[in-house]
Structure 1
Amino acid sequence: MGEVSDFEIRPATASDVPDLLRLVRALAEYEKEPGAATATPAQFEAALFPQEGDPTAYALVGVRDSVVVGMALWFRSFSTWTGEAGIWLEDLFVQPDQRGGGIGQALLARLAELCTDNGWTRLEWAVLDWNTPSIEFYRARGARPLDDWTTFRLDGDALSRLAGP
């Protein structure tokens, strides 16, 4: 018989938005950028649960004792090399007091299951270089770093300048 867990992994609902934002802010704090998490409930609702059209992003939540204690926020990606879709995991976060109980593993496994069920070929994400606990967590699950790649970002004034008048 399989092991019975004391938590549930499920797709997020609109009523989970406050908890998702709480966890995103906790992640920003952990990543030493607490002021950078400025998303609003309305923005999350529009992205995850739009009135019309497809969502921009998706979320899974880990729930223990009726409380959302973990999340995985993701969106579909596409590889021009393989011609196949995949998942870009934007954020995976489990409250520190809930770590080690299988919620992070279950969230990542559910994303892998979504990939395999849909014929998507990749599950990718970025991790801060100094975040050794997360790097070890991902490596222990078979993930490999793409050391030959550097992530670039344009935002703020640089984005506006490049876009031009």
Structure 2
Amino acid sequence: MNIRAARLGDEDAIHGLISELALYEKAPDEVTNTTEKLKVDLFVDKVCEALVVENESLEIVGFALYYQSYSTWKGRCLYLEDFYIQPEFRRGGIGSRLFSEVVKTAKKWGVKRMDWQVLDWNEPAIEFYKKHQAVLDPEWVNGRLFF
């Protein structure tokens, strides 16, 4: 398995994985982003970045998508928007390797904090993050507006 920065041409595979993740999270109809918009956001406007995981056949089987955010209390932060590896490729340590690569990016950027969300029913993900010494904060309620 190989981890590398996403490059132009990967947007179809990443979008497919985003759809798989939405299905797993029981929200397949919530994905309104398109492959073309993802392509622009990743490679033209560069509002986000991604790492991908390739299997032995060079198929993309996982990804992490993240961007810089800002905390008035801490300063620059990295927000890990999505982190997903197809189920058949889990349990071999690739998730830990991918997560570590995102952490390296956060340190390279000099951020003060790395944030992400995990659904409260997703026990495998919760255990994964705990294994990586993550603080899972039950105090904060997420707010959101849709436009």
The answer to whether the superposition gives a TM-score over 0.5 is yes
Structure 1: gaps spanning 5 or more residues: 1-6, 160-165
Counterpart CA distance in 2 for 1:18 and 1:62 is 14
Residue identity matched to 1:18: D
Is contact 1:70-1:103 (8 Å) kept?
no
Identity, % of aligned pairs? Answer: 38
Structure 2: gaps spanning 5 or more residues: none
Residue identity matched to 1:79: S
Residue identity matched to 2:3: I
1:31 equivalenced with 2:20 (yes/no)? no
Select 2:89's aligned residue among 95, 98, 103.
98
The two structures, once aligned, show a CA RMSD in angstroms of 1.1
- Written as runs of structure 1 = structure 2, the 5 A alignment for 1:36-47 is 36-47=30-41
Counterpart residue number, 2:54: 63
**Considering only CA atoms, is the larger Rg found in Structure 1 or Structure 2?**
1
Secondary structure in structure 2 of the residue aligned to 1:47: helix
Runs of 4+ in 1 over 6 A off after TM superposition: none
TM-score normalized by the length of structure 2: 0.95
Residue identity matched to 1:35: D
Structure 1 window deviating more from structure 2 (102-111 vs 126-135): it is 102-111
Counterpart residue number, 1:21: 15
Deviations 1:111-130 (CA, angstroms, capped at 9, x unpaired)? 11111122111111001111
Counterpart residue number, 1:122: 113
Is contact 2:74-2:113 (8 Å) kept?
no
Count of residues in correspondence between the two structures: 146
Deviations 1:53-85 (CA, angstroms, capped at 9, x unpaired)? x411111001111111110011101121123x1
Residue identity matched to 1:110: E
Counterpart CA distance in 2 for 1:39 and 1:82 is 30
Counterpart CA distance in 2 for 1:151 and 1:16 is 30
TM-score normalized by the length of structure 1: 0.85
Counterpart CA distance in 1 for 2:40 and 2:108 is 26
